[in-house]
Structure 1
Amino acid sequence: MSVKNTFLGNQPKSIGMAGKPITMSKLRQIIRMLHQGRSQKSIHLSTRVSINTIKAYRRKLKKSGKPIDYFLSQDELSLSKFFSSGDPAYKDIRYEQMKELLPSLSQELGKKGVTKGLLWQEYIEGHPDGYKYSQFCFHLRRYMRQKHPNLPLDHLPADKLYIDYAGATLPYIDAETGEVINCQVFVACLPYSDYCFAMAVPSQTTDDFIFALKCCLEHLGGVPKALVPDNLKAAVVQTNRYEPKINRVLEDFANHYGTVVVPARPRKPQDKALVENQVKLIYQRAYARMRNQQYFSLQELNNALISYIGKHNQTRMQKRDYCRTEQFVSKEKPLLSPLPDQPFEIKYYRNYTVAQNGHVLMGIDQRHYSVPFEYIGQKAQLIYTDTIVNIFVQSKLVATHRRNKTSGYTTNKDHLCSQHQHYRSRSTDNYLKKASMCPELERMMEVMISKKQYPEQLFRSFDGLLNLMRSYPKEHFETAIRMAIEAEQYNYTFVQNVLRNKTYINSSPPPQTPLPQHENTRGKSYYN
C-alpha cells in the first residue's frame, strides 16, 4: 500500500479554437453530432459552444480529407494535436527573444541573493518592449519546471523516518539565573502516515541528536527500516552524493537498533520534502501558540511542545478521511521492528600509546587504565561509553574496565609484570606469612607493625629483613634477630650490622664472678 506526495504536471484536459477552453468530452460530442448530420444551430443549443467555433471545427474536419468517424476513434492526445491552433503567446516575437535567455536566467536565479525581480529589471533594460513582470515570471517558472520535473514518491509503511532540525529555536527561562536559553527543535516524521515527532534539545551536538533520536523511536514504539537525516554534522561527517561518510556514533546507533542510515542528498530538499513541510506546520500549530507563553525549564518547554504536536497529529488531514495518528496506529506501527532490549550507550573512540607504566591515559577524565604489560609502547584504541572502557591493541580486546570519571589510576593486578604484582600485593599479613618460618623474625615484625610506621617504609624494612634471611645461615640470622629484640633495636640496619660485623659470635653473655665476702656486705634485712 502506498501514498503519493508529489505530482507530475497534468495532461491537457481542454482545447479551444478561439482561446476559450472546451473539454475533450464536449469536443467528442460536437464531432459525433456533426457525424450525425445535425445542424450547427442545434449543436450550439445542445453544447453551448459558439456557432463560429463549430464552423471552424467543421472546416478543419473537411480539410483533413478523413471521415468524421475516424476522429471518434482517436485518443485525446491525437485530437488535441489536430484541433489545437497553438498558444498564440508562443508565436510572439517577445517569446522568441526570451527563449534564448531562459537557460542563463534559470542559472542566475540559483545564485545567492538573485531574485526574479532583479532578473526582470535587467531583462527589461535590454528589451524595453519585452514582457511585463508577471509574464516574465510565468515563462521562467514554466521553463524551470520542464527542466526539473517532479517525480511522484511512493512511500511504504514503516520504511523510512525523515529527520531534521527546525530553523527557528524555542526559548525557556532559567528559573535560577533568569537567563533566556534558546533550544534547538528536533523534528522527525514517517512519510507514509505523515506522523510527526518533535522535541526541544539544548544543541545540535551528537549527544543531543542521539538522545532525541532515541526518544523518538521510543515514542514510536518501534524502528523503521531506514533513517533519513539531513546532512547534519551530528549525522554526516563528510557529505557526498553517492557515499556520504556517516558519523561513527550514528552508525553504532543504527546497528544497535537494527536499521540503516541513508542521508538525503546535499542541497536536495525535495528528498525530505515531507519533514520540511512538517517544520512549516509545527511553526503554525506549535510555535505560534507558544509564542506568548513562558517556560522555566526544558522539561516544561517539551511538555508544551509535545502536547501541541499531539493535537497536530490528531487533526484531520486535508483531502483525507483520517488523521495522522489513526493512519500511524492502524497501518504503520504494527510493521515497525521491535526496540532492542538493552538501551543504547554512545561509544567514543580515542587513540593513545600505552605508557611505560603499563597504563593508558584517557584525557577526558584524566584517568589511567591498565593494559597487560607486554603491550607497553604500542598503539591502543579506547572505545568507551558512560560506564565501560574497552581497550584494543591491533583490533584485539586486551582490557575492560569500569569507567571512573575522577582522576587517578585503575589497575588490574593481572596486567602487571611479576615484580610489579609483588609490589602491588604487599601487606602486613603477607609479610608475617613469609616470616613464619623464623619465629624470632615474626615476633620482631609484629612489634614493628605495632609501632604504626608509615607503610611504605615498613614494607621496605620487611623486604630488607627477608633478604638478610635468605643471604645468611639460619642460626646466624636467628641470633642477630634475638640480639635486636634484646637491645630493642627493631630495624633492618641493626640486624645488618650484627651480621656484617659478625657480632653474633660474641653474643654469649660474659660469666658472672661472685662478689668477695667482706663485712661491709649488706644483707636483705638491711633494706627491711
Structure 2
Amino acid sequence: MANKLTDMSKIRKVIKLYCGGNSKQFISSYLSLSRNTVKKYISLFESEGLSIECIENKSDSELEELFCSGKAAPVNVKLDALYCFFPQMERDLKKVGITVTHMWEKYIALHPDGLGSTQFRHHYKIWSKRVNSSMHMDHKSGDKMYIDYAGKTLSIIDTSTGEAKEVQFFVAILGASQYTYAEASMSQKKEDFVRSVENAMRFFGGVPAAIVPDNLKSAVTKSCRYEPEINETLQDLADHYETTILPARSYKPQDKALVENVIKILYTRVHAHLHGKEYYSIEDLNKAIATLMNSHNRRKLTARPYSRLDLFTEDEKQELRPLPNKHFEIRYQSFATVMQNGHVQLSEDKNYYSVPYQYIRKKVKLSYTSGTVEIYYKYNRIALHKRNYKQYVYTTTSEHLASTHRFVSQWSAERFIEWAEKIDSSVKEYIVHIIESRTHPEQAYKSCMGILGFEKKAGGERLIGACKRALDFEVYSFKAIQKILENNLETAPFEDRNQELPDHHNIRGKHYYN
C-alpha cells in the first residue's frame, strides 16, 4: 500500500512540475523516474484533457485507475493537430484585437471534431509555459520596447595607457517579436543612455508605443509605484519620438522578465564569444557585437519554426510608428541673472544672448542644444537664439532692448574703426591703439565712443590734432585726449606741452628718444 501511495505522490509531482514549465528530462532526473514513465504520465494527463487542479482533487485510487490501468490515450491525434496549431496562434495573438476566442473559432473551423474552448485554453497554457517558461505576459506588436543594462560589463583597451577600460552593455528588445538590439557604451550616464535608446529605435526602424526601462537612475529620477518621475532628458527624447516612458513597476518581476531573460541568453551568445579578445575602440567592439546579434536574431526560437527576425519583419515592423527625420538633440540647462544691458550669459560658451528688457535683473533658465538657445522665465519662453560658440560675443535681437540699449548693442570694433577712418587716418590709428590696449575690446568701446564724440564737441580738426599729439606721446586713453583738448595742447610747441599732459611716469613721447 505504501508503494502505491508513493507512486501516486510522484504522479502528482510529475504533473505539477510539467505544468510549471519543466522539461521531461528535468522531471525524470529530479524525481528519479525513467523518461518513459514520465512521458507515459504526461501523455495520459494531456490525452484526458485534465488540469492540475483536477489532479490535486482526485483521490489516490482514482489516480491509480487513471494512470496505472494501461488505458491508452484516445485523443492523441487531436492533440497533435492542436499543438501544431499553437505556434501560428502565438504569432496571431500579438496582433491588436486578436483574442484566444478568435483563435479557437479559427481552430474549430479547421478541425470540426476538435477540442472545446475550455480544453483549448488549458492546453495552450500548458504549451506556452513549456516552450518559454519565462514568458507570462502577452505582448502586442509595436507596443513596447524593453531596455536595460547587463550586469556584466565589457571592456576596451585604452591606447594611451594600455589598460582595460570597462564599458557598459545596453540591451533593447521588442516585446512581441523579441527582436533584440545591443551595443556597448562608455557609461550609464544620461547622455550615453539616451543615445543608446535612440540607436535602438533607429536600428528597429520605427518607434514603439512605449519604452519600458528598469528603474535606472539614467531613466527615473524618483521611483514611485503610481507616478515615477522620469529623467527630463529621457522625457525630451520620448517627446521628440512621440512615444511614452513606462518604467517597470517596482517589485513586479514580470515587467522585467523579457529583457532579463534575453540578457542571460546574450551572456552565452555574445559575452562568451568576446571573452579573451581585445578591442581598442568602442566602434570596433560594437561591430563585433552587431555580428553576433545578427546570428542571435536569426536563430529559431525554442519549439517554434521561426526566428526573432522572422517575427519582426513579418509581424511587428509594420506596427511601429515612423521615425522622425531629425535625430534627437540632447538639451542642457543652466540658470543666470539678466544683466543691466539686457543680456544673459551662457557660461559654458562664455558669450551672451539678449532677452526683452523687462526681464533685466530677473533670474532665468537657459535651455540649449548644439544648435539653439532658449531662455525661459517662469516656464514661459522669452527668447530664442541660434547658438554661437564664439567667446565674449553678444547675440542680440534689437526688439529685446530698450531704446537706450539698442544703440549700445550695435557697438563693435569694426564700427568704431570705420567711424574714425572717416575723420582721419590718425584718428583711426589712435582708435586701433585704444582697442588693442584693452584685455577685451568691449572694455574700450566707451572710450572710443567718448573720443569720437569730440568731433561734434570740439570739431574734427582739433580732434585730429589731439590724436596726433597723443600718438606722439604714446598715451592711449579718453582722458589723454580730453586733457589735450581742454588745455589746447594739440597746437602747442612740443617743448611746452610735455608738462601739461596727464601725470604718468611713462609719458615721454617718441621724440624723447631722438
- Structure 2 alignment gaps of length 5 or more: 1-19, 23-50, 73-117, 120-133, 436-443, 473-480, 490-514
Distance 1:409 1:485, change over 3 A: closer
Aligned counterparts, 1:113-192, within 5 A = 152-192=136-176
The separation in 2 between residues aligned to 1:261 and 1:288, in whole angstroms, is 32
Tell me if structure 2 keeps the 8 A contact 1:16–1:22.
Answer: no
Which residue of the partner structure matches residue 269 of structure 1?
253
Offset at 1:497?
A: 4.4
Distance 1:162 1:268, change over 3 A: same
Say which of 159, 163, 179 aligns to 1:195: 179
Which residue of the partner structure matches residue 81 of structure 2?
none
Tell me if structure 2 keeps the 8 A contact 1:468–1:496.
Answer: no
Which residue of the partner structure matches residue 228 of structure 2?
244
Are 2:451 and 1:461 equivalent residues in the alignment?
yes
The separation in 1 between residues aligned to 2:283 and 2:486, in whole angstroms, is 72
Offset at 1:406?
A: 6.0
Number of residues paired by the alignment? Answer: 359
Say which of 416, 421, 443 aligns to 1:427: 416
The separation in 2 between residues aligned to 1:382 and 1:485, in whole angstroms, is 44
The separation in 2 between residues aligned to 1:231 and 1:493, in whole angstroms, is 72
Secondary structure at the aligned position of 2:54 is classed as coil
The separation in 2 between residues aligned to 1:246 and 1:481, in whole angstroms, is 65
Offset at 1:25?
A: 12
The separation in 2 between residues aligned to 1:383 and 1:170, in whole angstroms, is 34
Secondary structure at the aligned position of 2:53 is classed as coil
Distance 1:21 1:263, change over 3 A: farther
Distance 1:487 1:303, change over 3 A: closer
Distance 1:10 1:243, change over 3 A: farther
Which residue of the partner structure matches residue 313 of structure 1?
297
Which residue of the partner structure matches residue 60 of structure 2?
17
The separation in 2 between residues aligned to 1:229 and 1:341, in whole angstroms, is 24
Distance 1:25 1:389, change over 3 A: farther
Distance 1:7 1:251, change over 3 A: farther
Are 2:427 and 1:448 equivalent residues in the alignment?
yes
Tell me if structure 2 keeps the 8 A contact 1:13–1:24.
Answer: no
Distance 1:428 1:178, change over 3 A: closer
The separation in 1 between residues aligned to 2:256 and 2:412, in whole angstroms, is 60
Distance 1:379 1:299, change over 3 A: same
Tell me if structure 2 keeps the 8 A contact 1:484–1:494.
Answer: yes
Aligned counterparts, 1:11-410, within 5 A = 11-13=53-55, 15=58, 17-18=60-61, 21-23=64-66, 152-405=136-389, 407-410=391-394
Partner AA of 1:463 in structure 2: G
The separation in 2 between residues aligned to 1:259 and 1:486, in whole angstroms, is 70
Partner AA of 1:229 in structure 2: P
Partner AA of 2:299 in structure 1: T
Tell me if structure 2 keeps the 8 A contact 1:358–1:376.
Answer: yes
Tell me if structure 2 keeps the 8 A contact 1:352–1:361.
Answer: yes
The separation in 1 between residues aligned to 2:236 and 2:147, in whole angstroms, is 17
The separation in 1 between residues aligned to 2:135 and 2:201, in whole angstroms, is 29
- Structure 1 alignment gaps of length 5 or more: 1-5, 30-75, 78-149, 434-441, 470-476, 500-528
Cα deviation digits, residues 351-410 of structure 1 (max 9, x gap): 322133433233444444333333211121111112321112243333333334565343
Secondary structure at the aligned position of 1:183 is classed as strand
RMSD of aligned C-alpha atoms? Answer: 3.8
Cα deviation digits, residues 178-230 of structure 1 (max 9, x gap): 11011111111112111111111011110000111111001000011010100
The separation in 2 between residues aligned to 1:228 and 1:28, in whole angstroms, is 50
Larger Rg: 1
Tell me if structure 2 keeps the 8 A contact 1:226–1:261.
Answer: yes
The separation in 2 between residues aligned to 1:360 and 1:366, in whole angstroms, is 10
The separation in 2 between residues aligned to 1:232 and 1:301, in whole angstroms, is 24
Distance 1:233 1:464, change over 3 A: same
Distance 1:482 1:296, change over 3 A: closer
Cα deviation digits, residues 454-503 of structure 1 (max 9, x gap): 3445553221232345xxxxxxx98x68998999999665554459xxxx
Aligned counterparts, 1:442-521, within 5 A = 442=423, 445-449=424-428, 453-455=433-435, 456=444, 459-468=449-458, 493-497=483-487
The separation in 2 between residues aligned to 1:22 and 1:173, in whole angstroms, is 68
Secondary structure at the aligned position of 2:256 is classed as helix
Distance 1:378 1:446, change over 3 A: same
TM-score computed with the length of structure 1 as normaliser = 0.60
